Chains A and B, each alone.
Chain A
Amino acid sequence: MSSYAEVETRELRKATGDAEAVEARSPFRLALRRFRRDRVAVAALAVLAAIAAFAALAPLWAHLTGHPYSATFPATGLDAGGQPRGPGGRFPLGADQLGRDVLVRAAYGARVSLAVGILAALLAALAGTAAGTLAGYAGGAVDTLIARLMDVTLALPYLLVAIMLATTFQVTSAAASLALTIAVIAFFSFAAFGRVVRGRVLALRRAEFIDAARALGATDARIMVADVLPNLVPQITVLTSLLIPASIVFEATLSFLGVGVRPPMPSWGSMLGEGGDAVQTAWWLLAVPGVLLLATTLSFNLLGDGVRDALDPRAARPADGGGGRP
């Protein structure tokens, strides 16, 4: 089977007599080309790659410094007055007020941030796409039910409920708290995601190719998966890539309040929260996790913008408003 573009290329080659003159480009390759030309997005991707490498090599940093992430070194990490030592010497990025290595903890914290950000965003995307597609395509009572459910989720004071959820499920293990944090973030993100998908599906439902598919005898399930979903891919990709930084900020906020990822697992948010008053005197306790957080979320946001521009060059900048999650 050859696509229209391939046939066209062959015809052109025949016409020009030059086999290499014209090359057909798939939409994906066109998008990739646009993305590569976007210097800001490529730089953001490079920053993210560096942070991912930093996170992946966390055990190496622990090995090189000889400081496991949860071990305290009061003798070497604190000065005579009990204050944490600054960057330099055996603690490249300083020690915290318990004498733990900030570099090693920041690397393990990067793992948490990236894992929570990406997994929560994917989970929310999955749930949001499913709910939005079902509501938009089915219509009627199903639509009303799902849409109202999403409305109520959006009306909940999410930070309060998130704190409540995290407190009531008395998780003690770090792994369980990680899973709970991801679930809580995904739950509060899926509704906004689902709304956008639903709106898009409502518009698609009236498209002629859907009528054509139905006329050919395709079942509803087949139409949803084979005809509707592929048309949602650009929106889903962009929304998901913008949901990642939001999830990272959400996790950091929960961990900062002490209801996110539990100790001894370090997270950038809990590093800032545990720093407490010491953060005011020891600048590196604020600067290291703070700068890493900002670099990660800013890069993801820039990357998301780049992906949107690459996938849909005609799209105006979004009219999104509800980005501010205090």
Chain B
Amino acid sequence: MTRFAARRLLYALVVLWLVSTLVFVFLHVSPVPVERVIGGPRATADTLAQIRRNLGLDRPLPVQYWLFLGRLLHGDLGDSYINGTPVTTLIGDRLPTTLWLVSGAGVLWFAGGVGLGVLGAIRPRGVRDRAATVFALAGLSTPPFVVALALLQVFATRLGGAGVHLFEAGPPLQEHFLRRMVLPWIALAFLMLASYTRLTRSAMLDVLAEDYVRTARAKGLPERRVVLRHGLRPALAPVVTQFGVDLGALIGSTVVTEKVFGLQGVGQLVYRSITAGDTPVIIGVTLLVTFCVVAANLLVDIGYCVLDPRVRLA
């Protein structure tokens, strides 16, 4: 077990290093001209060269990479090219918004997806099953921003006097927290609901066909207990796997939801940094997201063993 964990950890570190190096090289080989962004359209060639010197961009790429790695090992992600703020501070300011967004939506889609999936699996091809399948397929087919925009259009103006302006930049997150978060939560959850419904349904169908489920029924357990204890618990294993992976991956993929609802999260931060050529911020966020994905995968492996006794035996 320890050896397994150590190997996984090493693998995770290699992936992190690989991703950061890839992004670093890519951004330095064909960058957005950041000195243009800082200096403005009327800057002279001298000014542009000075800006590049100040940022250390005039040094050879291997030197820059060496300095970057050295800083990284000290937990320093560098400073933003645009406003000089440390990247860790920038990300730290934005991360809570994204975490709230993803975790709130996560609760919704997990509960909803598992619920719909179980309903479908209890009586496959029944009315409820068909309805859940169509609902799930609609979610799978809808681009993220369409749901978000539609929700805004229908509900935003009715959610208190502030209406759409509630979602514009400015006030801290605590202000009108629930009112501001409920639509983004629903929008994000609706997208993810589909795969969770499908996943739960097919996992439940597999498990309910197992011998021990028949045994449980034969010894006279009430159906509710058979479905929830003997059926749902092992069926949750693949769902939890996917949940962990999605939670990790979503940290960097909420750009669209954040943009539509004007939430100042990590997604908006990285989107602006990419268009402005703010390399340190882009690398910082990419590392954060990759770290989240890798960490989520690690946690998932442990959760798997707890949930599904069949894995522990194997």
Contacts and interface: CB of A to CB of B under 8 A. Distances in A.
B143 A279 contact: no
B50 interface: no
Nearest to A156: B19
A250 to B, nearest CB: 9
Contacts of B153: 279-280, 283, 286
A80 B124 CA distance: 57
A325 B143 CA distance: 8
A301 B137 contact: yes
B203 A160 contact: no
Contacts of B191: 324, 326
Nearest to B252: A157
B138 A321 contact: no
B15 A152 contact: yes
User: Which of A245, A272, A294, A324 has the largest number of chain B CB atoms within 10 A?
Assistant: A324
Contacts of B112: none
Contacts of A325: 253
Given A294-B141, A326-B250, A321 B198 contact: yes
A326 B185 CA distance: 13
A314 B99 CA distance: 42
Interface string B179-219: 00000000010011011101101110110000000000000
B116 interface: no
Contacts of B289: 157, 160
A302 interface: yes
Contacts of B275: 167
B150 to A, nearest CB: 7
B227 to A, nearest CB: 19
B285 interface: yes
Give the bracket for the number of chain B residues in contact with chain A: 35 or more
B144 A323 contact: no
Interface in A102-147: none
A136 to B, nearest CB: 22
User: Which of B19, B144, B201, B203 has the largest number of chain A CB atoms within 10 A?
Assistant: B144
A297 B142 CA distance: 7
Interface stretch (A51-59, A223-231, A251-259): A251-259
Interface stretch (B26-34, B60-68, B299-307): B26-34
Interface in A263-302: 269, 272-273, 277, 279-280, 283, 286, 290, 293-294, 297-298, 300-302
A245 B143 contact: no
Contacts of A168: 26-27, 30-32
A297 B250 contact: no
B194 A323 contact: yes
Nearest to A164: B274
Given A157-B286, A326-B191, A297 B141 contact: yes
A324 B195 contact: yes
B231 to A, nearest CB: 16
B144 A253 contact: yes
B123 to A, nearest CB: 14
B167 to A, nearest CB: 11
A243 interface: no
User: Which of A157, A249, A300 has the largest number of chain B CB atoms within 10 A?
Assistant: A157
A294 B271 contact: no
Interface in B230-267: 238-239, 242, 245-246, 249-250, 252-257, 259
B18 interface: yes
A300 B293 CA distance: 30
A256 B145 contact: yes
B98 interface: no
A317 interface: yes
Contacts, number: 157
Nearest to B239: A321
Interface residues of A, number: 48
A298 to B, nearest CB: 4
A157 B274 contact: no
Contacts of B69: none
A298 B134 CA distance: 10
Given A155-B293, A159-B255, A164 B27 contact: yes
B152 interface: yes
Contacts of B271: 163, 257
B15 A155 contact: yes
A199 to B, nearest CB: 16
B262 to A, nearest CB: 11
B80 to A, nearest CB: 17
B32 A159 contact: no
B107 interface: no
Contacts of A256: 143, 145, 256
A21 interface: no
Interface string B7-33: 000000001001100010011001110
Contacts of B156: 280
B300 to A, nearest CB: 12
22 contacts: A152-B19, A155-B15, A160-B252, A160-B253, A163-B270, A167-B275, A168-B26, A253-B145, A256-B143, A272-B149, A283-B153, A293-B146, A294-B142, A300-B141, A319-B206, A319-B238, A320-B195, A320-B199, A321-B195, A323-B140, A326-B144, A326-B192
Interface of A: 152, 155-161, 163-164, 167-170, 245, 249, 252-253, 256-257, 269, 272-273, 277, 279-280, 283, 286, 290, 293-294, 297-298, 300-302, 305, 316-326
Q: Which 5 A-B pairs have the closest CB atoms?
A: A297-B141, A157-B252, A298-B141, A321-B242, A319-B202
Given A321-B199, A322-B195, 8 more contacts: A156-B290, A157-B293, A160-B289, A272-B149, A297-B141, A317-B198, A326-B191, A326-B254
